[in-house]
Amino acid sequence: MGSVETEVSQSQETTDGFNLVIEALKLNGIDTIYGLPGIPITDLTRKAQAAGLRVISFRHEQNAGNAAAIAGFLTQKPGICLTVSAPGFLNGLTALTNATTNCFPMILISGSSEREIVDLQQGDYEEMDQLAIAKPLCKQAFRVLHAEDIGVGIARAIRAACSGRPGGVYLDLPAKLFAQTVDAAAGKRSLIEVVDPAPKQIPGADAVKRAADLLKGAKKPLIVLGKGAAYAQADAEIRALIEKTGIPYLPMSMAKGLLPDTHELCASAARSFVLPGADVVMLIGARLNWLLSHGKGKTWGGKSSKDWGGQKFIQIDISPQEADSNVRTDAPLVGDVGSCVSALMAALGTPAKPPAEWLNAIAEKKKGNIAKMAETLAKNPSPMNFHSALNVVRDIVKANPDAILVNEGANALDFTRSIVDMYKPRKRLDVGTWGIMGIGMGFSVAAAVVTKQPVIAIEGDSAFGFSGMEVETICRYNLPVCVVVMNNNGVYGGKDVNPTGGPDVAPTVFVKGARYDKLMEAFGGVGVHATTPDELRKAMEEAIRSRKPTLINAVIDEGAGTESGRITSLNPTAKKK
């Protein structure tokens, strides 16, 4: 504490670590903390609330962490998750790592125990070297030991989370720090309002020309939009690029709605035609990872699973290390999406539309697949299957394009992604790069808090279980969240049997006919048991209208799904049916 106190300009008043953390966050435009109280941060949550920050308390830190992460994605400001030491910290860590994997800006702030005791491993309350553990799992990790360094610590955490490729940052605040007092005026001076936390990154002129030339020469161009494009909030630029060039585009899951999925240039319904067919592919804020079959193999027209399909790639990405990660990148364009797309537009001038042959072939494929889908959606089997239930969700989302759609599960995820059209940017939030289960309620809470819009969470019954207790949180804050549990009695379904004939059910199977709706009723929310599309529609319409916390237990045929949904091929022992 020394140096600040010895300054000449001492005032009468003092401040402490608690206040400095809160003031540093407020100074940087942070208005909400997602967390779970306990030693040593209980008073921090109280004082934060007293100081006008919104403190959203969760039932498990992982959900608070997921909330913070998605708040970061939606706002471009780091979402703040606050936890206690060791176990609370570890509970938050999965969300921090997931945020980093997905390029969401987030700061996990955890209280920690006495450094002297932790480092000598003398057995403190909740002893753990949290900083060391967090380091390999996030973008950057910091510890603040002196109250006068809190301002710098928070500033560094914000810059690390937001600049370049966004990600998760860990900030370790030992218990002792909070009670440290410093002269109030000196404390105030020590705070930093971060100037330009995510500076524009302008691409080089030569890189822009290289990309523009490649695009101009393309006979079968394709644009792939990823969640980096959604994050960048360069919606108008992206739309202008696509509409001026007339290049068909494929949105990755969380980029759906950047342009409406019903746009004539949207190639989602012809995915398996455009990927192998394209000659030049421009990735905008999307990585060639497993979700795009690593840019090679049969998906891309390669002869075998590892063969290059012959496409040339242009990649717009803020990370200079992303290019060439899986296949050759012919034209890397490093910079933020807005700057890159604008520069590219200028370089393209008035571009010629892609050859009609390519566009017509795509339109033809789309027409066929959309007609096939319409046929499937129109069926009304009993019990409901994913299609007949999601046909309702599709209508509800169409009628409420500002609502946020949260989605997790296997079949419940894959079918929703392909059936439910999105109409506006950043409205679809899901399991992302890892395909992680458990984001559901955390994402829903933050989406409601941040956007004030109704939230529709389409949840597999297994997926829901990972964060289901947060329905209490949803009720407590009276959030306009409508959870639809696609209840097919288990992980991928409920039909597996124990081959030994023993009393245990199969590992994938849950209690049959479970009533998840009663869980919501336990906390004062609205629970609905829906066995038909009509019941589901009525309940969803009412939930959106009333904005009351609602959980609809949608009974789905337990045999309607497939093992691992759409990614059966990644499952080592699954027999493909």
Residues that bind ligand ADP (CB under 6 A): 102-103, 165-166, 226-228, 231-232, 252, 254-255, 285-287, 289, 291, 317-319, 322, 336-337, 433
Q: Are 69 and 104 in contact (CB under 8 A)?
A: yes
Residue 385 makes contact with Mg ion by CB under 5 A: no
Convert residues 207-246 into a mask of x (bound to ligand TPW by CB under 6 A) and - (unbound).
----------------------------------------
Residue 40 has which token pair? 């040593």
Query: CB of 99: closest distance to ligand TPW in angstroms?
Result: 14
Residue 193 has which token pair? 């309002």
What is d(CA 79, CA 168) in angstroms, rounded to the nearest whole number? 9
Residue 488 makes contact with ligand TPW by CB under 6 A: yes
Select the binding partner of residue 565 from ligand ADP, Mg ion, ligand TPW, none (C-beta < 5 to 8 A, by kind).
ligand TPW
Q: Which residue is nearest to ligand TPW (CB)?
A: 460
Strand partners, 316: 284, 333
Select the binding partner of residue 285 from ligand TPW, Mg ion, ligand ADP, none (C-beta < 5 to 8 A, by kind).
ligand ADP
Residue 359 makes contact with ligand TPW by CB under 6 A: no
Q: Which residue has the tokens 């992982």?
A: 62
Q: Report the residue number, 40 or 460, with the smaller CB distance to Mg ion.
A: 460
Query: CB of 385: closest distance to Mg ion in angstroms?
Result: 12
Three-class secondary structure of residue 112 per DSSP? strand
Select the binding partner of residue 103 from ligand ADP, ligand TPW, Mg ion, none (C-beta < 5 to 8 A, by kind).
ligand ADP
Select the binding partner of residue 438 from ligand ADP, Mg ion, ligand TPW, none (C-beta < 5 to 8 A, by kind).
ligand TPW
Chain residues 469-488 in contact with Mg ion, contact rule CB under 5 A: 488
User: How many residues in the shown chain lie near ligand TPW by CB under 6 A?
Assistant: 19
Convert residues 447-486 into a mask of x (bound to ligand TPW by CB under 6 A) and - (unbound).
-------------xxxx----------------------x
Convert residues 402-441 into a mask of x (bound to ligand TPW by CB under 6 A) and - (unbound).
-------xxxx----------------------xxxx---
List of residues 6+ apart from 156 with CB closer than 8 A = 140, 142
Q: Report the residue number, 48 or 292, with the smaller CB distance to ligand ADP.
A: 292
Q: Which residue has the tokens 């630029």?
A: 237
Residue 116 has which token pair? 């002297």
Q: Report the residue number, 30 or 556, with the smaller CB distance to ligand TPW.
A: 556
Query: CA torsion angle for 196, 198, 199, 203 (degrees, to 10)?
Result: -170
What is d(CA 283, CA 332) in angstroms, rounded to the nearest whole number? 10
What is d(CA 486, CA 502) in angstroms, rounded to the nearest whole number? 28
Residue 61 makes contact with Mg ion by CB under 5 A: no
Residue 460 makes contact with Mg ion by CB under 5 A: yes
Q: Which residue is nearest to ligand ADP (CB)?
A: 228
- The pairs formed by 394-398 with CB atoms below 8 angstroms and a separation of 24 or more are 394/419, 394/420, 394/421, 395/537, 396/456, 396/537, 396/540, 396/541, 396/544, 397/421, 397/422, 397/423, 397/456, 398/423
Q: Which residue has the tokens 């060039």?
A: 245
Query: CB of 411: closest distance to ligand TPW in angstroms?
Result: 3
Residue 461 makes contact with Mg ion by CB under 5 A: yes
* Among the listed residues 431, 409, 427, 575, the one whose alpha carbon sits nearest the alpha carbon of residue 484: 409
What is residue 562's DSSP assignment?
-
Select the binding partner of residue 97 from Mg ion, ligand TPW, ligand ADP, none (C-beta < 5 to 8 A, by kind).
none
Query: CB of 434: closest distance to ligand ADP in angstroms?
Result: 10
What is d(CA 398, CA 430) in angstroms, rounded to the nearest whole number? 18
Output b/e per residue, 406-425; b: 16+ Cβ within 10 A.
bbbbbbbbbbbbbbbbbbbb
Query: CB of 230: closest distance to ligand ADP in angstroms?
Result: 7
Instruction: Report the DSSP pairing between strands 14-16 and 181-183.
Output: antiparallel
Query: CB of 414: closest distance to Mg ion in angstroms?
Result: 12
Query: Which residues bind to Mg ion, rule: CB under 5 A?
Result: 460-462, 488
Query: Which residues bind to ligand TPW, rule: CB under 6 A?
Result: 409-412, 435-438, 460-463, 486, 488, 491-493, 561, 565
